[in-house]
A and B are shown apart, each in its own frame.
Chain A
Amino acid sequence: GAVVSQHPSRVICKSGTSVKIECRSLDFQATTMFWYRQFPKKSLMLMATSNEGSKATYEQGVEKDKFLINHASLTLSTLTVTSAHPEDSSFYICSARDPQGGGRGDTQYFGPGTRLTVL
């Protein structure tokens, strides 16, 4: 149980285009999903918290107009990188909150990540 998927796993795009990344909780309902960014050999940096049916909460320094987040259902959140530039190239990871945690209690489960390369 507690499986989170992300699509696509890898995307290469030209500068100026927009890219959408999907995050799905496959076997549980996630009222909260989180989006992280990870640079090579670095830890995860929280970008935003996404709650189903409401606007996302962005961390300081994260441009909400550049990183659009939509959490339209209890199993799907999307991150759209608008007008992507090479500096947006990174590994983007989502996580979904499972209040039951598979018996472990309220916890987060992570998706496999999406590697974005902007040329």
Chain B
Amino acid sequence: QKEVEQDPGPLSVPEGAIVSLNCTYSNSAFQYFMWYRQYSRKGPELLMYTYSSGNKEDGRFTAQVDKSSKYISLFIRDSQPSDSATYLCAMSDNNAGNMLTFGGGTRLMVKP
């Protein structure tokens, strides 16, 4: 079993839809949770950063962490074609600047 599981997709949605991306993990020591967006042939870009459990909102993006269930989510409201990318969750037990454990990534396609 991988430490971090993420549905690879692809996930195809119409423009304007609400997108839900999820990761599950097995290591209860993880405390820092990140979501990265990666466009094709580009490096990952940090979208959201959350410490411990709870919700965090930034514009159209909302990150949720449920440590009791070992489950994290990223919601994208009013999805746009420009949101089409691969979304990677990442976690750390120390701090987000240290070694990260990545999920496999979910490929999202938003169709106009």
> Size range of the interface on A?
20 to 34
Check A109 against B95 for contact (C-beta < 8 Å): no
Bound together, the chains give a CA A86 to CA B17 distance in angstroms of 42
Per-residue B-contact encoding for A85-119, CB less than 8 Å = 1, 0 else: 00000010101011101001111111111010000
| Consensus secondary structure, chain A interface | strand
Cβ of B112 within 8 Å of any chain A Cβ, yes or no, is no
Q: Which residues of A contact B98 (CB under 8 A)?
A: 32, 97, 106
Cβ of A62 within 8 Å of any chain B Cβ, yes or no, is no
Number of A-B contacts (CB under 8 A): 66
Cβ of A11 within 8 Å of any chain B Cβ, yes or no, is no
Cβ of A72 within 8 Å of any chain B Cβ, yes or no, is no
Cβ of A19 within 8 Å of any chain B Cβ, yes or no, is no
Q: Which residues of A contact B103 (CB under 8 A)?
A: 43
Number of interface residues of B (CB under 8 A): 23
Bound together, the chains give a CA A114 to CA B109 distance in angstroms of 24
CB distance from A43 to the nearest CB of B (A): 5
Name the residue of chain A whose CB is nearest to the CB of B48: A104
Cβ of B30 within 8 Å of any chain A Cβ, yes or no, is no
Check B45 against A108 for contact (C-beta < 8 Å): no
CB distance from A7 to the nearest CB of B (A): 13
Cβ of B59 within 8 Å of any chain A Cβ, yes or no, is no
Check A106 against B88 for contact (C-beta < 8 Å): no
Per-residue A-contact encoding for B44-70, CB less than 8 Å = 1, 0 else: 111001010000000000000000000
CB distance from B27 to the nearest CB of A (A): 15
Check B104 against A108 for contact (C-beta < 8 Å): no
Check A109 against B96 for contact (C-beta < 8 Å): no
Can you list 6 A-B contacts (CB < 8 A)? A32-B98, A101-B96, A105-B51, A108-B96, A110-B43, A115-B41
Residues of chain B having any CB pair with chain A under 8 Å: 8, 34, 36, 41-46, 49, 51, 88, 95-100, 102-105, 107
Given contacts A41-B105, A99-B97, A107-B96, 19 further A-B pairs with CB under 8 A are: A6-B43, A32-B97, A43-B88, A44-B88, A46-B99, A95-B43, A97-B97, A97-B98, A101-B49, A104-B46, A104-B49, A105-B95, A106-B97, A108-B97, A110-B36, A110-B45, A111-B43, A112-B43, A113-B42
